[in-house]
Amino acid sequence: MSVVPPYLLEALERHPSERVRTAAQRTRSARVPHEQPTRPAARIAVHRPHPKHRLIYDDRHEQVLPGVLVRSEAEPSSGDGDVDRAYDMAGETLDFYAAVFGRDSIDDRGMHVISTVHYGERYLNAFWDGAQMVYGDGDGEVFASFTTCLDITAHELTHGVTQADVGFVYDGETAVLCESIADVFGSLVKQRMLGQTADEADWVLGSGIYGSGIKGVGLRSMASPGSAYDDPLLGGRDPQVAHMRDYVELGTTERTAHRNCGIPNHAFYLFAKAVGGNAWDVAGHVWYDALRSGLHRACEFRGFALATAEAARSHGAPVVEALHHAWRSVGVSVPQRAASAG
């Protein structure tokens, strides 16, 4: 699962800078494995999360994972900014899941979290490969290093969470949900670290990832899908959609997933804003409880919306109504049996 949409990389293959063009071509030609559907592990009683265990590797611009081990849990800073940011951001993400949801690491069973930095030569992406986190360095013109954005780290590690809990099939609307859920929790990890309420947050994934000459605020906007960037160097205006009437099937699953994940993203944004306060409290718990509710591996929008509506019931009628209004606003209806609380 890569965080940068393929259509953005395609646009960069036409960039006037040979450095950027070459980096985009290398990135697009590298095979990134998709999250493999796996049978969710049996739940085990966990009274408290295990201590964090992070392992950071340096790929030294190769593409052979995991690379050379350069920092382990509790060791001092390495002096390499990418190594140390990868270590810190994995820690922030693990702390979020432990403190907010009582989750024991990414798989809820205390797994060691492996990250590799300096992957490839000016690699323009970050991804979860089904077992670990991988960061490219960026090209220094369009993209900064992918270790510089906490929400990108949390987005990719959340793919590991969904892999462990559901094992989503990466196809159609299900793939869109995969990307959206990763965006939601990526944003929540950043908001909690910054101490921001739903009203204070920017709701932008990848804020700060672009170089100074790019006209854009990030990779995606949950508050206003389709407004994250508008720059001819990036292929023009951000093509994300925010409503089911604009849903489009594209040539590949990954293109479809990134183009359309603004729909459930915007539903979460509207819900969190309506509920107010810290988005990781009520709104975040509704999304997390829905994820843990026994979803089908091929769950689509209406099925996930129903699961969120059921999860909202314990929070009272106003929360249920806010949830339904958010889904209706993006063109997704929820079956009537979830329409009321209690």
Q: What is the DSSP string of 85-97?
A: HHHHHHHHHHHHH
E-only strand ranges, the chain: 54-58, 68-72, 113-117, 126-128, 133-135, 204-205, 220-221, 230-231, 236-237
The DSSP secondary-structure symbol of 141 reads S
**For domain 6-338, which architecture applies?**
Orthogonal Bundle (1.10)
pLDDT in the model for residue 337: 59
Give me the chain's average pLDDT, please. Answer: 93
Which of the four pLDDT bands, split at 50, 70 and 90, describes residue 50?
Answer: confident
Question: Which residues are identified as catalytic?
Answer: 156, 258
Distance from the Cα of residue 57 to its chain's centroid? 22
What is the reported pLDDT for 335? Answer: 76
- pLDDT tens-digit series, residues 196-243: 999 999 999 999 999 999 999 999 999 999 999 999 999 999 999 999
**What percent of the chain has pLDDT above 70?**
92
Output the CA–CA distances (angstroms, integers) from residue 217 to 210, 230, 315, 321, in the order listed.
8, 9, 34, 32
Q: Residue 312: what are its φ and ψ, rounded to 5°?
A: -75, -20
- Domain positions in the chain: 6-338
Give the Cα separation of 196 and 151 in Å (integer).
Answer: 14
Q: How many CB atoms lie within 10 A of CB 122?
A: 19
Higher pLDDT, 31 or 77: 77
- What is the C-alpha separation between 101 and 32, in angstroms, rounded? 30
Tell me the pLDDT tens digit for each residue of 31-41: 665 544 444 44
| pLDDT tens per residue, range 162-184 | 999 999 999 999 999 999 999 99
